[in-house]
A and B are shown apart, each in its own frame.
Chain A
Amino acid sequence: MASSVDRTKGTYVMLSGNHAVSNAVRLSRVQVVSAYPITPQTPIVEKISEFVSSGELKARFIPAESEHSVLAAVSGASSVGARTFTATSRQGLMYMEEVVHWIGRGMLPMVMAVVDALIGAPPDNWTEQDSSLYQRDTGWMIFYCETNQEVFDTIIQAFRITEKMSVPVMVCLDGSYLSHTSEPVLVPDIALVDKYLPGRKDAIVADPKKPHRLFGPAMSQEFNAKLRRRTHEALETAAEFRKTADREFESIFGRSYDDIECYKTEDAETIVVAMSTVAGTSRFVVDRLRESGQKVGLVKVRMFRPFPGNRLVEALKNAKKVAVIDRNLSYGHGGILCMELKASLYNEKKRPTVFGYVAGICGVPITPELIMQIIADTNAKETPEEELIWMGIGKSEKVKAV
């Protein structure tokens, strides 16, 4: 297959992360799009509206009155077999929540881009991953992207996976750092994308010729429980298919992505675990520290659901210490990636000491210097003094009772 395809059929274009999403949606020939304005997502749907208006994308754009309706509208379109897309951010994702669960558990194919930004109160636009990580129990497949090219490619891969596996897919990109920052993105010829996305072939859609009842209540407890198990196992199967989808993608486009990515970890004694743009900055820091002889590596987590626990255990088994950087927080516990990683490691006889850092929430910059401080802190201590180590925002002022 690869030999007959000309990978040079494409153009490098300077695209913001948001417009990388819009262009991937255009090339994927999405048929129904619905969205509601919310910063920092809005440029995605503005651009898609332009594509629909100009005829570059033959789709129906439904300007619904709220995010709850947005996700219901794309779900309606998906339930009859159309290729559907939506995008949102923070409060919008919170407002969608009921429908996110509905179609995650109900296994309806669709792709949603989530531009990560903080949840109110207070309602600001800076990046953090609380809103999308909060979706981890919904039955959606969830990816985090490091670069705008990865955003672009992951959207296209997401359509392949969702339409083959009937599992909805969420593609997350950091607000500001990706959404509003332009990078060169190789935009391929649409013929290549057509080749990659054969279209939907669902067993069950709402169709008068083959009438079914979708998502109806009043079934037995056991039947419902079996559906739940099916939703869970479908995610596992989707993760398997993701590898196939990636191989197909590589043969056509020449780029490849994994669930996790190990960077200079082979002999690393300390490994940083991070997601999204934090992984990008960490990669830079690992290179600098390697120059000075430090045995440091990086594991980037790209797929968060289903959680690649076994892969992470394997990747970290020879490290002495692991520093997890979470740009998110589960209040009353700690960083979410760190919690999930610790759970995966718990039953291992040989496991590294895990340090959990919460940094960069509310869009506080995670600079190379901050990551160097994190690695130095990990190296300096035998074990973490606290479960949750705050970085980059100074000393804590103890909260007093009112």
Chain B
Amino acid sequence: MRKLKQFNTQIASEEHISPGVMACPGCGGVLAMRLILKVLGKDVIVTTCPSCNSGFAQNYTVPSVHAPFAAVASWASGIRAGLDMLGDTKTTVLAVAGDGGTFDIGIQALSAAIERNENFIFVCYDNEAYMTTGIQRSSATPLGAWTATTPVANPKGENKKRIMDIMAAHRIPYAASASIGYPEDLIYKVKRAMQIRGTRFLHVLSPCPIGWRCSQDLSVKLSRMAVESKIFPLFEIVNGLRYKVQRPQHEIPVSEYLRLQGRFSHLDAKSIDKIQHITDREWRRLLAKESTATIK
């Protein structure tokens, strides 16, 4: 936590989401956006796309524009270009998408925007399925999870798409994974992103009690457990090459994280072992990347 001292990671008291939000109880997405908007302040234009965020963005007190699903990164590119041409190079442009709008339908526009190194911040709040439409699988849905389109008899048979590897392959100036379970770390990463020019990507795990079939009061706890089990490691990538991985202070087996969620309740010991094996393997790979090139 040494680096946190470089930044003031205190949570600002001013809110940029007005009361009466239409999010479900325990929504991780709205908590993520609440924190991120607090860091960004008033001088921001947000562009959103179809997701649960479409609903709660109605309560943003900062300006926002709702873009078509596949094109939020393109819309953000246009906002940036328009502001620059009008002489405003200061206002932050923030694109917000769920995992569908990032991993699936939005990835073409996002990839192109990063390739052009468009100057905006892209936040993916990842609740690991299409939650707005009623919990259908996305390519961000983890292996073994139940969703409305991956029934218990045939749960998701594929691994979660490794979006951060895809970001790294673009040599994006800055990409970081973050969690609502670690708000100071999240705030630090938003602040760090604000200091960098070009496309910046934040991948925020955002538990969805309805879709994850868990208790509404577990969103923050599960966010922490996802990090502690190394299922969702917290790390930063600079220019796609240099890594900084945070070691969890307290480590747990994946089974502890999985068993609190109804979406995994059908898994037998063998399936859980497989998930543990894959998680360990990916963690080792991540540390190997960091050992090759570390962020100073």
Contact = CB atoms under 8 A, between A and B. Distances in A.
Given A73-B81, A76-B77, A214-B66, A99 B55 contact: no
A75 B75 contact: yes
Contacts of B91: 208
B79 interface: yes
Contacts, number: 155
B42 A76 contact: no
Interface residues of A, number: 42
Contacts of B70: 68-69, 98
A265 interface: no
A192 interface: no
Contacts of B55: 217-218
Interface stretch (B106-114, B155-163, B229-237): B106-114
A288 interface: no
A31 B85 contact: yes
**Chain B interface, >50% SS class:** helix
A59 B86 CA distance: 10
Contact of B82 (A64, A82, A213): A82
Given A62-B81, A65-B108, A80-B45, A72 B75 contact: yes
A75 B67 contact: yes
B143 interface: no
A335 interface: no
A346 B61 CA distance: 51
**Chain A interface, >50% SS class:** mixed
B22 interface: yes
Contact of B63 (A58, A65, A66, A213): A213
Given A76-B74, A218-B22, A218-B58, A66 B108 contact: yes
Interface in A88-113: 98-99, 102
A249 to B, nearest CB: 25
A37 interface: no
B85 A32 contact: yes
Contact of B75 (A58, A59, A76, A212): A76
A211 B68 contact: no
Nearest to A30: B85
Nearest to A69: B74
Given A72-B71, A76-B78, A216 B109 contact: no
Contact of A78 (B22, B58, B82): B82
B75 A207 contact: no
B54 interface: yes
Nearest to B42: A208
A77 interface: yes
A69 B66 CA distance: 14
B74 A77 contact: no
B71 A60 contact: no
Contacts of B60: 211, 213
A118 to B, nearest CB: 25
Interface in A313-338: none
B112 A65 contact: yes
A74 interface: yes
A65 B58 CA distance: 30
Nearest to B62: A211
Contacts of A76: 47, 65, 67, 74-82
B57 interface: yes
A208 B61 CA distance: 9
Given A76-B82, A77-B81, A216-B58, A206 B65 contact: yes
B84 interface: yes
A77 B78 contact: yes
Given A69-B108, A207-B63, A80 B77 contact: no
Nearest to B79: A76
B68 A99 contact: yes
B277 to A, nearest CB: 37
Contact of A82 (B43, B45, B66, B86): B86
**Which interface residue of B78, B85, B86, B111 has the most chain A CB atoms within 10 A?**
B78
Contacts of B4: none
A81 interface: yes
Nearest to A102: B68
B64 A216 contact: yes
B44 interface: yes
B45 A206 contact: yes
B112 A215 contact: no
B1 to A, nearest CB: 33
B184 to A, nearest CB: 26
A344 B108 CA distance: 44
Interface of B: 22, 42-45, 47-48, 50, 54-55, 57-58, 60-68, 70-86, 91, 108-109, 111-112, 115-116
Given A62-B78, A79-B65, 14 more contacts: A31-B86, A68-B70, A69-B109, A69-B112, A72-B67, A72-B72, A74-B78, A75-B75, A77-B81, A77-B82, A80-B79, A208-B62, A217-B50, A218-B58
Q: What are the 6 tightest A-B residue pairs by CB atom distance, in nearest-first order?
A: A76-B78, A77-B82, A72-B71, A65-B112, A82-B82, A69-B74
